[in-house]
Amino acid sequence: RYRIRKGGSSSHVHLEYSLERSVKGTRLYDASAADFVLPKNEKRFRTRIEVTAETTLEALYRIVGERERKRVGDDANSGSRMASSPTATRRKNKTMSSDAEAKDLTAGDDPEGTAKDIKRTKNEEVLAGGSKIAILNFASARNPGGGFLRGAQAQEESLARSSGLHPCLMTQHETFYLQHRRTRSPYYSNKVIFSPHVPFFRHDDGTFLAKPVCPSVLSCAAVNAGVARRSGTNQEAKISEQNRKRMRLILQVAALQRNEVLILGAFGCGVFKNDPSIIARTWHSLLQSEDFQGRFRRVCFAVHDATKGQTVLKAFTPLRSADGGGKS
């Protein structure tokens, strides 16, 4: 649990039940095991694809905020950010706060929440807008949560610091992490850890949410292409093939779990040095395939790009839907 301040008073936000449920529900999917069958693809959706210049957490909270506003019938601009300025936050009834600065989530007019916009889990309150959302964790192959316990800064570390993800990943310590430490192959394995309804309670900057958001998390390690290239010649085809297998598995697990909104990104394009143009084309090819076309309502590629010239973001821009959905 954690404490938040509202005006002159404070209250505790409880996470025990939500976290226990996520930990118990975490399981490992192995592409080589082929132990599941996808539900029939009824192509229910005209998938909206966004490419955005934001972190995974920013994309998550923005999308949840949009869904919450829609839920309560607010016609606010769907592109507005969850984290508003202090002035805007004071103008709205506050629904998120921290010890440092209040941050608006739903931009609605009901600070206490209603049965319509709040899903209750025993004595806990979480924002219902996180349901049917799955986010991709660019996982370390050998360390649960990457280097977040040492203060490292990257996508996985931000997710681990901001949520209950780490204890979920620890349930697969033997089957996922120790296996990769023993083999020491830069190709790792075609496995995905699925953690359902993980409570997220912080922003990237460390400030707390007044009500947690509970998306599911897909944790998968991309090929360490930088090391693989040094292991011999003609590695590119193998790198692409193995990445495609696990990216397909990511979508398979998301579909099996009936998630409708996915937050993906530049998988393995940081320290693992995968080619962003190849990763982008692979995502596009898979989403257009018979298995996945029309299966998801919305796919957001959140690309937080610190490269000179934003080369990673530019590689993903062509994936954006014709309607230009989302913000750039």
Superfamily classification of domain 10-55+123-319: Leucine Aminopeptidase, subunit E, domain 1 (3.40.220.10)
Q: Which amino acid is at 32?
A: S
The phi, psi pair for 181, rounded to 5°, reads: -65, -35
Domain ranges for the chain: 10-55+123-319
Which CA distances in Å does 4 have to 9, 98, 99, 139, 205? 9, 5, 6, 30, 15
| Residue 207: pLDDT over 90 | yes
The model's pLDDT over 137-194, given as tens digits with 9 standing for 90+, comes to 999 999 999 887 887 889 999 999 999 999 999 999 999 999 999 998 999 999 999 9
Q: What is the largest CA-CA distance in the chain?
A: 64
| Residue 319: pLDDT over 80 | yes
- Segment 271-280 shows an average pLDDT of 97
Residue 134 CB neighbours (<10 A) = 25
Q: How far apart are CA 203 and CA 213, in angstroms?
A: 11
- Segment 46-72 shows an average pLDDT of 94
Work out the percent of the chain whose per-residue pLDDT is above 90.
62
Provide the whole-model pTM: 0.82
**pLDDT on residue 309:** 92
**pLDDT on residue 125:** 64
DSSP string, 183-239: H--TT--SEEEEE-S--EEE-TTSPEEEEEE--EEEEEPPP-HHHHHHT-SS-HHHH
- From first CA to last CA, the distance across the chain in angstroms is 35
The residues that bridge with 11 in the sheet, in sequence order, are 4
